[in-house]
Amino acid sequence: MRAGATNHRRGVSLIELLVVVAIFAMIAVTVLPNIAATAESRRSREAARMLTSFIAKAQSRALGRREWSGFMLVATNTASSYAAADLFLADVPPVYRGDTVPALLTISGTASTSRFASWSGGALESGSAAGVRAGDLIRFQERNPWFEVSGTLSPVASGSFSFRIRGGTSSAAGDAGQQPHNTPWPPNNQSMTFEILRQPVAGGAPFSLPESRIIDLYWSGYGPPYVGANTSTFQRFPQVTSGGAAVNVAALFDGTGRLRQIITTGTSAGLTSRLAVTGPVFLLLGRSDRVGQTNPNSFNPADETSGCNWQYPDSYWIGIDPFTGVAKSAECKPNAVGSTDIEKLIDSQDWIRNSC
DSSP string, 267-302: SSTT--EEEE--S-EEEEEEEGGGTT---GGG-BTT
Same domain, 157 and 234: no
Over residues 113-161, the pLDDT tens digits come to 889 999 887 778 776 667 788 888 999 998 878 998 887 777 777 788 8
CA distance 229 to 119: 53
Reported confidence tier of residue 233, pLDDT bands at 50, 70, 90: confident
Last residue of a domain, one of 162, 197, 232: 197
- Asked whether the beta carbons of 322 and 277 are under 8 A apart, the reply is yes
The answer to whether residue 79 sits within a structural domain is yes
Lowest mean pLDDT among 54-68, 84-98, 124-138: 124-138
Same domain, 161 and 224: no
Reported confidence tier of residue 7, pLDDT bands at 50, 70, 90: low
The answer to whether residue 145 sits within a structural domain is yes
**Higher confidence at residue 355 or residue 195?**
195
Reported confidence tier of residue 27, pLDDT bands at 50, 70, 90: low
Mean pLDDT of 246-251: 85
The answer to whether residue 270 sits within a structural domain is yes
Same domain, 75 and 142: no
CA quadruple 163, 164, 167, 171: dihedral sign? negative
Mean pLDDT of 154-183: 70
Mean pLDDT of 93-122: 88
Mean pLDDT of 49-57: 97
Give 189's DSSP letter: T
Same domain, 161 and 273: no
pLDDT confidence of residue 46: 94
**Sequence-distant (≥ 6) Cβ neighbours of residue 229 within 8 angstroms:** none
CA distance 66 to 263: 18
The answer to whether residue 26 sits within a structural domain is no
Please compute, for residue 266, the number of CA atoms within 13 A of its CA located in the half-sphere on the CB side.
22
CA quadruple 218, 220, 223, 225: dihedral sign? positive
Helix, strand, coil abundance in the chain, percent, nearest 5: 20, 30, 50
Over residues 277-302, the pLDDT tens digits come to 888 999 999 999 998 888 899 888 88
Residue 162: which domain range? Answer: 105-197
CA distance 132 to 264: 16
- 1 has a pLDDT exceeding 70: no
- Asked whether the beta carbons of 59 and 71 are under 8 A apart, the reply is no
The answer to whether residue 27 sits within a structural domain is no
Reported confidence tier of residue 182, pLDDT bands at 50, 70, 90: confident
CA distance 43 to 35: 12
For residue 346, list its beta bridge partners.
Answer: none
At 156, is the secondary structure helix, strand, or coil? Answer: coil
Reported confidence tier of residue 350, pLDDT bands at 50, 70, 90: very high
Last residue of a domain, one of 197, 214, 244: 197
The answer to whether residue 9 sits within a structural domain is no
State the distance between the two ends of the chain, measured CA to CA, in whole angstroms.
77
- 308 has a pLDDT exceeding 50: yes
Lowest mean pLDDT among 18-27, 64-73, 143-152, 194-203: 18-27
Hey, which bits of the chain come out as E strands?
A: 69-77, 82-91, 105-108, 114-119, 137-140, 143-149, 159-164, 191-192, 194-197, 201-208, 213-216, 221-222, 235-236, 247-253, 259-266, 273-276, 281-287, 316-320, 327-331
Same domain, 214 and 318: yes
Reported confidence tier of residue 317, pLDDT bands at 50, 70, 90: very high
The answer to whether residue 10 sits within a structural domain is no
pLDDT confidence of residue 105: 92
Residue 74 burial (C-beta neighbours within 10 Å; 0-12, 13-18, 19+): middle
Q: What is the pTM of this model?
A: 0.82
Same domain, 226 and 313: yes
Reported confidence tier of residue 304, pLDDT bands at 50, 70, 90: confident
Same domain, 239 and 285: yes
The number of distinct structural domains making up the chain is 2
Look at residues 102, 192, 176 and name the one whose alpha carbon lies nearest to residue 137. 176
Mean pLDDT of the chain: 83
At 59, is the secondary structure helix, strand, or coil? Answer: helix
Reported confidence tier of residue 167, pLDDT bands at 50, 70, 90: low
At 95, is the secondary structure helix, strand, or coil? Answer: coil
pLDDT confidence of residue 152: 73
